[in-house]
Amino acid sequence: SCQVRSIGENAAVADTCETASNRSFNLMSLQSNPARILAYDHIGIRVSDQNRALAFYQALGFVESACFPRY
């Protein structure tokens, strides 16, 4: 039996699949065009120094689009 998870609109990837002889292999290695991340919707990361963390992620190309108050 294969464990399949959906990726994107029309693609599906099987993480592992058992063959008739009960051996497992990784199907990701057989894909010629693996899924790519095109965008992030949102992330939440707890940090001790907000200004330093913002500078780090901005240097990587991320853009802050919303900021929520501390709880």
Label residue 3 by pLDDT band (50, 70, 90).
Answer: very low
Label residue 38 by pLDDT band (50, 70, 90).
Answer: confident
Label residue 46 by pLDDT band (50, 70, 90).
Answer: confident
Q: Above 60 in pLDDT, residue 53?
A: yes
Residue 64 lies in a domain: no
Q: What is the 3-class SS of 8-64, one letter each residue?
A: CCCEEEEEEEECCCCCEEEHHHHCCCCCCCCCCCCCCCCCCCHHHHHHHHHHCCCCC
**CA-angle at 37, arms to 34 and 38, nearest 5°:** 120
48: domain range? 2-59
Into how many domains does the chain fold?
1
Residue 43 lies in a domain: yes
Which residues partner with 11 through β-bridges?
Answer: 7
Residue 28 lies in a domain: yes
pTM value > 0.75: no
